[in-house]
Chain A
Amino acid sequence: MSTQLIQGYEVVIGFETHAQLATQSKIFSRASTAFGAEPNTQASAVDLALPGTLPVMNREAVACAIKLGLALGSHIAPESIFARKNYFYPDLPKGYQISQFEIPVVQGGEVSFFLGEEKKTVRLVRAHLEEDAGKSLHEEFHGMSGIDLNRAGTPLLEIVTEPDMRGSEEAVAYAKALHQIVTWIGICDGNMQEGSFRCDANVSVRKPGAPLGTRREIKNLNSFRNMQQAIDYEIRWQIEQLEDGHKIQQATVLFNPDTGETRAMRTKEDAADYRYFPDPDLPPLRIAASWIDEVKAAMPELPRAMAARFVAQYGLPEYDATTLTQSRAMAAYFEQAAQACGQAKLASNWIMGEISRRLNAEEIGMEAVKVTSSQLATLISRIQDGTISNNAARQVFEALWNGEATEVDAIIEAKGLKQMNDSGALEKIIDEVIAANPANVEQYRAGKDKAFNALVGQVMKASKGKANPQQVNELLKAKLA
């Protein structure tokens, strides 16, 4: 393995990611999981931990765990155990969190992705089901704290990797790859701002060949940009400490995006004894092979398999295939357009170019794309059959995007963008241009290519852009020969 050293240190990173599961209701109650409701309006008696309430497992959340396990090639435990993690905090209503400790539902597996040209694989330790806590709100309450228990009991999968990553770029690439998978298989909406996909990075550094260094855990990295910044800062900080002769203390740190620094929240000495024990309210979670088969049958084609298929079926370069399979919406758009126009590479170029550029500029996703795949397919067909030039196609696209009209042919007609394919008319124009520009003709014949281009430009101009440039080239060359 090629390892990049920083000031002679090797960086070691492992991830713990909390993916909020896109279930209708909570993991152990039937309250809704929708985000953004008025505080405490989506907390049932179970979520409030009223006396006498008991948890009942939401099968939908288990199906999410099975999907993740299938997507990552993990072992799906036929029997896993829920455990209680005991600690007091006002937004933890029961005084314990129901989680999985000794026997998690998803065991092993891996996430593969490209870092530039290099293929990387990060091994998973496990993914376990657990419930989220509520939120403590410390502002706006004049010295008191507010508690919102809407989030309490929201299902989470905590996805834990081996310390396989060797740099911040690789770590971010892993996080993006995992994000792609959980959103692709539809178990998580992936909204990092709303906390649906929360990453904690365990970072340590060591001299090559030395045992693992002491790690510090960076909590709640809520954007990919923060993630890289935070890890880079943490790496520099740890190396500095070691170079100055200090030891690293195991700690949990928070990243402050305003200062760009990490700051320790608590050290290992403050670490609580959570007194884990199997939750007697929940029998072992049993997953029959038939349930796994059922989920498998309903699973979408996974991104890596789809990318490979795009290369084989459509002859796309690997780069295109990988880019187009960043989301299911984009992949589906590509396939529809490619099949409709029969020009896969052109469709890919349009999607990765014009469409991506506009989506990014308008900060919208593929779901909100303003030109349909069939419109794009028609547009590409019109370029292919010589009806319009590439330049004209951009104008048509612009009109489609802005909603000026919906029919490609109607736009071509209305804007008069049809290429001049009548060679008689074109020859007439060329003759006129040759007659009017003797100097350029002379220079061309003297071997100056630039002069030829100037003539082409004149012809295009005279045709008001409707001439087919290729045809112009051919005819002009013939006439000047």
Chain B
Amino acid sequence: MNNNTDLHDLGVAQLAAALRAKQVSAVEAAQHFLARAKAHQGLAAYLAIDEDVTLAQARAQDAALATGQAAPLAGLPIAHKDVFVTRDFPTTAASKMLAGYRSPFDATVVARLAQAGCVTLGKLSCDEFAMGASNEKAAIAALGLDAPQPAHNPWNPRHVPGGSSGGSAVAVAARLAPAATGTDTGGSIRQPASFCGITGIKPTYGRASRYGMIAFASSLDQAGPMARSAEDCALLLSQICGPDPERDATSLDHPAEDFTRGLQGSIAGLRIGVPAEFFSDGLQDDVRTAVEAALKEYEKLGARLVPISLPRTALSVPVYYILAPAEASSNLSRFDGVRYGHRAEKYSDLLDMYKKTRAEGFGDEVKRRIMIGTYVLSEGYYDAYYLQAQKIRRMIADDFQAAFQQCDLIAGPVAPSVAPQLGAQTDPVSSYLADIYTLPASLAGLPGMSVPAGFGGAGLPVGLQLIGNHFQEGRLLNAAHQLQLATDHHLRRPEGF
């Protein structure tokens, strides 16, 4: 290993190559990142590690590497958002409801990455049950800490890292892991990636198996990788995607793909749609400046900017905040204290047991969404809310199809602002409104990603969002990679890490 380069500066591609070349062993790599995870416990990124488990996995990969029969990512350390169930680590979804829960099986995404040779470093913090956009709703104490607290943005620890996959974004940005998994329901990969200056992609709905992902909103939830570069994301996404018909009925019968193959292609002539609605008044100037600079960069690379309209962008907020809570209210019914997870200690009868268990086990934001969801599904309200929202959801998807008649991909901001200060967001509605740019692609089931585009106020990162048509992940990654060849935002590192 070159002494000038720390192990944790290597991206997925470089580290995997170093492991294959036996410049570093899987055990060394795992130990290095575990040491960093412990050294930076104050960031509250990790909820759980287990050195014995991790090192055993690493030794197995070293053995495979020694035979020359190793899997493509043999020995690569990775950490998982705590909504992926894991057999060898506790899984809590950052909720008291599941404190200490152990799954008897691994999520398909976890299993596929293990199959590809990845070594699991541990589990990462997130908003409780992936409901939130700041990581402030985490209700489980992070590794080495006594009380629950949000992961901190490594660019400025007084600011949130975003969410819900906040722990994943922090771990990657602070070099506590070369890469992490995240989940995205309404922007939970893209927004924290943007806030922490890393790269993250959510594939087309149905390309990544949801089996073993603790469900928040089933029709929207998708897994995806979070790493420092588009190339690293491409390597991981190639392993994550693929049909899983025996376990997930919504998994699409679409073959796995090597997303690294198209990275180098020229983007000259690429038509990039720029939706007017993504640049309206709510967009902060620092974000606008960085995003526009990135768009200019694309023009220099030969792409053509095409003004487009996504007229129902604003409607995506109420539509999402009806449909996602509706599904969540039902998905979270299984947490009833009967079979696993938290159960109230004292109760008078069955109903009392349910009430106390759920009152104690769920945090405020989860309860809020369960109540909204229950309400919109209730007799007499279903047509006015749920059904109406489904209709508009279809129109939003149609708007994208119309736009893709004019362009090959769509670009814009990920969020209206850079990462807010911890504790600054107190009104749930205003924080819901900040999801406006990520929700449309989620509702339409389209792939979307966040690519570092520069920095805004307080030296905090800004992400550029790229949205593609169904199954156009390769095109997104190609465009992102080309931008990253021309810029160095993604190579910048937060001070002290």
Interface set of A (CB-CB < 8 Å, partner B)? 45, 48-57, 84, 86, 88, 90, 93-96, 147, 273, 275-277, 280-283
Further pairs besides A52-B103, A275-B382, A276-B377: 16, Cβ < 8 Å: A49-B334, A50-B104, A51-B85, A52-B105, A52-B211, A53-B212, A55-B249, A56-B245, A56-B246, A57-B249, A93-B339, A95-B332, A95-B334, A275-B374, A275-B379, A281-B215
Contact with A along B240-259 (1 / 0, CB 8 A): 00000111111000000000
List chain B residues, Cβ under 8 A from A51: 85, 91, 93, 98, 101, 103, 214, 334
CA of A84 to CA of B330 in the docked complex: distance in angstroms? Answer: 8
CB pair A88 B336 closer than 8 Å? yes
Known: A51-B85, A51-B214, A52-B211. A86 touches B248 (CB 8 A): no
CA of A54 to CA of B107 in the docked complex: distance in angstroms? Answer: 11
CB pair B339 A48 closer than 8 Å? yes
Across the interface, name the chain B residue whose C-beta is closest to A55.
Answer: B249
Contact with A along B327-353 (1 / 0, CB 8 A): 101101110101110000000001000
List chain A residues, Cβ under 8 A from B217: 280
Min CB distance B102 to A, Å, is 10
CB pair B350 A90 closer than 8 Å? yes
Interface centre among A48, A56, A277 (most CB of B within 10 A): A277
CA of A45 to CA of B105 in the docked complex: distance in angstroms? Answer: 9
Min CB distance B381 to A, Å, is 10
Instruction: List B310-368 residues whose CB lies under 8 Å from chain A.
Output: 326-327, 329-330, 332-334, 336, 338-340, 350, 354
List chain B residues, Cβ under 8 A from A90: 336, 338, 350
List chain A residues, Cβ under 8 A from B247: 54, 56
CB pair B212 A96 closer than 8 Å? no
CB pair A52 B333 closer than 8 Å? no
CB pair A147 B107 closer than 8 Å? no
CA of A277 to CA of B331 in the docked complex: distance in angstroms? Answer: 12
Known: A95-B333, A95-B334, A275-B374. A54 touches B248 (CB 8 A): yes
Instruction: List B71-114 residues whose CB lies under 8 Å from chain A.
Output: 84-85, 91, 93, 98, 101, 103-105, 107
List chain A residues, Cβ under 8 A from B484: none
CB pair B374 A52 closer than 8 Å? no
Min CB distance A82 to B, Å, is 9
CA of A25 to CA of B160 in the docked complex: distance in angstroms? Answer: 48
B219 proximal to A (CB < 8 A): yes
CB pair B210 A54 closer than 8 Å? yes
Interface centre among B212, B246, B339, B378 (most CB of A within 10 A): B339
Min CB distance A281 to B, Å, is 5
List chain B residues, Cβ under 8 A from A96: 330, 333
CB pair B101 A86 closer than 8 Å? no
CB pair B333 A86 closer than 8 Å? yes
Min CB distance A147 to B, Å, is 7
Min CB distance A160 to B, Å, is 20
List chain B residues, Cβ under 8 A from A56: 245-249
B213 proximal to A (CB < 8 A): yes
Known: A52-B211, A273-B379. A281 touches B250 (CB 8 A): yes
B218 proximal to A (CB < 8 A): yes
Interface centre among B104, B214, B249, B377 (most CB of A within 10 A): B249
B404 proximal to A (CB < 8 A): no
Across the interface, name the chain A residue whose C-beta is closest to B106.
Answer: A52
Of the four ranges (under 10, 10 to 19, 20 to 34, 35 or more), the interface on chain B belongs to 35 or more
Known: A50-B103, A57-B249. A277 touches B330 (CB 8 A): yes
List chain A residues, Cβ under 8 A from B104: 45, 50
CB pair B339 A280 closer than 8 Å? no
List chain A residues, Cβ under 8 A from B336: 88, 90, 95
B386 proximal to A (CB < 8 A): yes
Min CB distance B342 to A, Å, is 13
Contact with A along B372-385 (1 / 0, CB 8 A): 00100111001000
Min CB distance B224 to A, Å, is 17
List chain B residues, Cβ under 8 A from A282: 249-250
CA of A95 to CA of B330 in the docked complex: distance in angstroms? Answer: 7
Known: A49-B334, A49-B339. A86 touches B377 (CB 8 A): yes
Query: Can you offer 26 A-B residue contacts whose CB atoms are under 8 A?
Result: A45-B105, A50-B104, A51-B85, A51-B93, A51-B98, A51-B103, A52-B103, A52-B211, A52-B214, A52-B215, A54-B210, A54-B215, A54-B250, A56-B245, A86-B377, A88-B333, A95-B330, A147-B338, A273-B378, A275-B374, A275-B378, A280-B218, A280-B250, A281-B250, A282-B250, A283-B249
Min CB distance A246 to B, Å, is 28
Counting from the closest, the 10 A-B pairs by CB-CB distance are: A95-B333, A280-B219, A275-B377, A280-B218, A52-B212, A52-B85, A49-B334, A51-B214, A273-B379, A90-B338
CA of A96 to CA of B335 in the docked complex: distance in angstroms? Answer: 12
CA of A147 to CA of B210 in the docked complex: distance in angstroms? Answer: 28
Across the interface, name the chain A residue whose C-beta is closest to B92.
Answer: A51
Across the interface, name the chain A residue whose C-beta is closest to B108.
Answer: A52
Contact of A86 among B103, B214, B330 (CB under 8 A): B330
Min CB distance B207 to A, Å, is 15
Across the interface, name the chain A residue whose C-beta is closest to B380.
Answer: A273
CB pair B249 A281 closer than 8 Å? yes
List chain A residues, Cβ under 8 A from B329: 86, 275
CA of A93 to CA of B339 in the docked complex: distance in angstroms? Answer: 8
CA of A88 to CA of B350 in the docked complex: distance in angstroms? Answer: 10
Instruction: List B464-478 residues whose CB lies under 8 Å from chain A.
Output: none
Min CB distance B403 to A, Å, is 25
Across the interface, name the chain A residue whose C-beta is closest to B338.
Answer: A90
List chain A residues, Cβ under 8 A from B84: 52
Min CB distance B206 to A, Å, is 9
List chain B residues, Cβ under 8 A from A276: 377
Min CB distance B372 to A, Å, is 13
Min CB distance A152 to B, Å, is 11
List chain B residues, Cβ under 8 A from A57: 249
CB pair A277 B211 closer than 8 Å? no
Across the interface, name the chain B residue whose C-beta is closest to A94.
Answer: B334
List chain A residues, Cβ under 8 A from B218: 280-281
CA of A55 to CA of B332 in the docked complex: distance in angstroms? Answer: 15
List chain A residues, Cβ under 8 A from B215: 52, 54, 281
CA of A334 to CA of B479 in the docked complex: distance in angstroms? Answer: 75
Across the interface, name the chain B residue whose C-beta is closest to A43.
Answer: B339
List chain A residues, Cβ under 8 A from B85: 50-52
Interface centre among A55, A84, A96, A275 (most CB of B within 10 A): A275
